[in-house]
């Protein structure tokens, strides 16, 4: 608020000045030696801002008190975490850390997927109640990663409902920086952007199959899929709300503040099956092509013209499970390009990038040059099918078959070829 605007706002409040002359209350306050003055405005949940800073942190608005919040607690354990004790312990510790050490976020985010009407938002609703003005809810990805993000200024918890970033490389970087970055750029309309400390924890809720851009080396996302056991069970959720409104919220805060989280590694969430699903949805073009090849036991083939308009068939190139499979590099790349054309990958990797990535995933892959019909041609020498499956599983964490030797990642039972 500009000085002139401040004076205009209070222009109708006339009071006597020390010399008896009438003046506005705004001008009287502005000239007073007793008024508070600050050099800057900060949001510091530690409460340790220096005396020259106006700290917008006012503490948690709810007073903790012993009581009963067992219905919401059970919902979190049995439905959100599907009864998994390890995942439940980690999630509860992640929540508790927001209240115990609000000024220190640890670079992980919680994602809850599932069908409509299953209570995905119930936890977020009551966390927002406990945090009041320090919790914000948005429904579009641009409100999380886009410009004009003034709502992030005093934010400890950002709940993103039905917002997703799958497939957007531009938003992916901004999203991951929000989760792990120590500072963020705050931008208001008509005001120059400023750097502020980043205390925001992210809780994502969605019905989509592909919610977040999880990569094969992902360590940020704790992904859960809620049970449908109480889908559209209005009495069940009404009972939770009734208990929380009658002392349950205060009891929840009390227990969260008392919870021992010292032995929980909040920087590294448990790797759930639903995280693996997100990784699988977000595979790169080369990774997705290799996955298709392994599931089919042969080069993916499609009865269409290839990238250049020719019809070089990739049929018949079956991956051998007992010896090396040798295939012309051009045939392999054509299979990859055609695969990209009928899937979501509209701009396939160039030959050089394709070669680098396939070698990174399959280290035992050899590229050789041989003489055929008087010409020198390049060939890929693929290891046995089980070895390639093992390489893929080790690299991505994705197990393609029902029975896997977890030590070697090799399939015990494979699809028929």
- Please determine, for residue 18, whether its predicted confidence score (pLDDT) is greater than 60: yes
pLDDT of residue 102: 97
Confidence tier at 364 by pLDDT (50, 70, 90): very high
Nearby residues of 129 by Cβ (< 8 Å), 6 or more positions away:
62, 244, 249
pLDDT of residue 406: 45
Confidence tier at 295 by pLDDT (50, 70, 90): confident
pLDDT of residue 306: 45
Q: Which long-range contacts (CB under 8 A, 24 or more apart) does 267-271 make?
A: 267/106, 267/107, 267/108, 267/219, 268/108, 268/219, 269/90, 269/94, 269/108, 269/219, 269/220, 269/221, 269/222, 270/86, 270/87, 270/90, 270/222, 271/397
CATH topology assigned to domain 70-279? Rossmann fold (3.40.50)
158-to-98, 118, 291, 406 alpha-carbon distances in Å: 12, 21, 35, 37
pLDDT of residue 310: 43
Instruction: Enter the tokens of residue 185.
Output: 């750029």
For 102-125, the pLDDT digits (tens) are 999 999 999 999 999 999 999 999
| HSE-CB for 341 with a 13 A CA cutoff | 16
pLDDT of residue 238: 98
Q: Which is more confidently placed, 318 or 258?
A: 258
pLDDT of residue 162: 79
Nearby residues of 137 by Cβ (< 8 Å), 6 or more positions away:
124, 128, 158, 159, 160, 161
For 170-196, the pLDDT digits (tens) are 778 888 889 999 998 888 877 778 888
pLDDT of residue 165: 64
- Please determine, for residue 392, whether its predicted confidence score (pLDDT) is greater than 70: yes
Q: What percent of the chain has pLDDT over 70?
A: 90
pTM above 0.75, yes or no: yes
For 301-342, the pLDDT digits (tens) are 655 444 444 444 445 577 777 788 899 999 999 999 999 998
For 203-254, the pLDDT digits (tens) are 999 999 989 989 888 889 999 999 999 999 999 999 999 999 999 999 999 9
How far from the centroid of its chain's Cα atoms is residue 223's Cα? 8
For 84-99, the pLDDT digits (tens) are 999 999 999 999 999 9
pLDDT of residue 144: 79
Q: For residues 336 and 292, what is the distance between their CA atoms, to the nearest angstrom?
A: 10
> What DSSP assignment string belongs to 209-241?
S--S---TT--SEEEEE--STTTT-HHHHHHHH
| HSE-CB for 21 with a 13 A CA cutoff | 4
Q: For residues 60 and 324, what is the distance between their CA atoms, to the nearest angstrom?
A: 64
> Bridge partners of 197?
183
Every domain range in the chain assigned CATH 3.40.50.300: 70-279
């Amino acid at each position: 608020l500009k000085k002139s605007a401040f004076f205009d706002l209070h222009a109708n409040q006339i009071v006597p000045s020390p010399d008896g002359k009438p003046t506005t209350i705004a001008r009287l306050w502005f000239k007073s030696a007793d008024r508070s003055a600050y050099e800057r405005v900060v949001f510091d949940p530690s409460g340790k801002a220096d005396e020259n800073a106006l700290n917008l942190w006012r503490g948690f608005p709810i007073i903790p008190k012993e009581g009963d919040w067992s219905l919401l607690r059970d919902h979190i354990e049995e439905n959100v975490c599907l009864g998994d004790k390890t995942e439940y312990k980690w999630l509860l510790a992640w929540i508790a850390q927001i209240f115990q050490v609000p000024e220190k976020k640890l670079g992980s985010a919680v994602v809850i997927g599932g069908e409509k009407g299953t209570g995905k938002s119930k936890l977020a609703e009551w966390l927002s109640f406990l945090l009041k003005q320090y919790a914000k809810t948005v429904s579009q990805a641009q409100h999380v990663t886009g410009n004009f993000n003034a709502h992030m200024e005093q934010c400890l918890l950002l709940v993103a409902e039905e917002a997703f970033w799958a497939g957007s490389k531009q938003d992916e970087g901004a999203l991951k920086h929000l989760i792990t970055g120590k500072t963020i750029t705050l931008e208001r309309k008509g005001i120059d952007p400023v750097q502020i400390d980043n205390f925001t924890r992210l809780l994502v809720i969605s019905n989509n199959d592909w919610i977040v851009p999880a990569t094969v080396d992902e360590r940020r996302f704790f992904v859960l899929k809620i049970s449908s056991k109480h889908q559209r069970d209005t009495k069940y959720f009404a009972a939770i709300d009734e208990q929380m409104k009658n002392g349950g919220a205060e009891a929840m805060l009390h227990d969260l503040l008392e919870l021992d989280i010292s032995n929980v590694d909040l920087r590294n969430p448990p790797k759930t099956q639903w995280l693996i699903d997100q990784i699988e949805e977000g595979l790169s073009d080369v990774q997705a092509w290799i996955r298709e090849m392994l599931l089919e036991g042969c080069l993916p083939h499609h009865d269409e013209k290839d990238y250049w308009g020719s019809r070089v068939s990739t049929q018949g190139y079956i991956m051998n499970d007992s010896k090396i499979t040798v295939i012309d590099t051009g045939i392999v790349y054509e299979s990859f390009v055609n695969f990209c054309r009928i899937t979501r990958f509209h701009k396939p990797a160039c030959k050089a990038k394709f070669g680098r990535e396939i070698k990174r995933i399959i280290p035992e892959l050899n590229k050789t040059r041989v003489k055929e019909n008087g010409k020198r041609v390049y060939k890929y020498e693929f290891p046995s099918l089980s070895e390639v499956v093992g390489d893929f599983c080790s690299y991505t964490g994705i197990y393609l078959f029902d029975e896997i030797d977890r030590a070697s990642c090799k399939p015990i039972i494979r699809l028929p070829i």
